[in-house]
Amino acid sequence: MEPSTRLSRRARPFAARLAGLLLVAALAGCGLAMPTDPDGTLQDITGGTLRVGVTESVTENHDFVRLQPGAEPAGIEPELVRGFAATREASIEWVEGSEHQLVEDLKHGELDLVIGGLANDTPWSKHAGMTRPYAETRDERGKTVKHVMLVLMGENAFLLALDQYLLGQEVDL
């Protein structure tokens, strides 16, 4: 009678855990870093240029983005973007447009970020990644509005770096 080459019931869970650990170790050795940017946004802007789409968003109580002819964008969000860009030693290229045009440019990789007083329930969330809400306001009906910025879908390292920066900021509304 030949000995069985099958694992005993007690050995199977151990073998499965061992195989899982070996797989994790092998993937770690491949240089797989999480989160990643398939298009390399965070790496590109670091020491480079952050391309920011802006659309005006001014309410009775808040200037999220104010656009003036011949001047750089002003307001809450441009100041946040300037602060983030400084942490990455990035210059900023401002691109003005409608929300629709800016989201199209973002989807095609022509922009890195879109700002304009956007709320987290924006219909553009189907076409772009969103930061976590960095500020809350109330609309004219008293409903809470959570404000976000848009990034290229899938650029998770960039999104994480931006979220971490925004989380550390006190937004004065």
- What is the pLDDT, as a whole number, of residue 173? 81
155 lies in some domain: yes
Find out whether 171 and 131 touch, Cβ atoms under 8 Å: no
47 lies in some domain: yes
Tell me the pLDDT tens digit for each residue of 4-61: 556 555 555 555 555 555 555 555 555 556 789 999 999 999 999 999 999 999 988 8
11 lies in some domain: no
- The whole domain housing 116 covers 41-167
Please check the confidence at residue 136 and state whether its pLDDT lies above 60. yes
What pTM, to 2 d.p., does this model score?
0.80
- What is the pLDDT, as a whole number, of residue 144? 95
Which helix (H) or strand (E) segment is 105 a member of? helix 99-107
125 lies in some domain: yes
- What is the pLDDT, as a whole number, of residue 12? 55
Tell me the pLDDT tens digit for each residue of 89-131: 999 999 999 999 999 999 999 999 999 999 999 999 999 999 9
Task: Output the CA torsion sign for 78, 72, 157, 129.
Answer: positive
- What is the pLDDT, as a whole number, of residue 172? 81
13 lies in some domain: no
Q: Report the candidate in 84, 77, 60 with the shortest Cα–Cα distance to residue 171.
A: 77
Count of domains forming the chain = 1
89 lies in some domain: yes
63 lies in some domain: yes
5 lies in some domain: no
- What is the pLDDT, as a whole number, of residue 169? 96
Q: Kindly list the distances between the CA atom of residue 40 and the CA atoms of 47, 49, 76, 106, in Å, as whole numbers in the listed order.
A: 13, 13, 27, 14
Q: What CATH number does the domain containing 79 carry?
A: 3.40.190.10
Find out whether 95 and 107 touch, Cβ atoms under 8 Å: no
Find out whether 41 and 101 touch, Cβ atoms under 8 Å: no
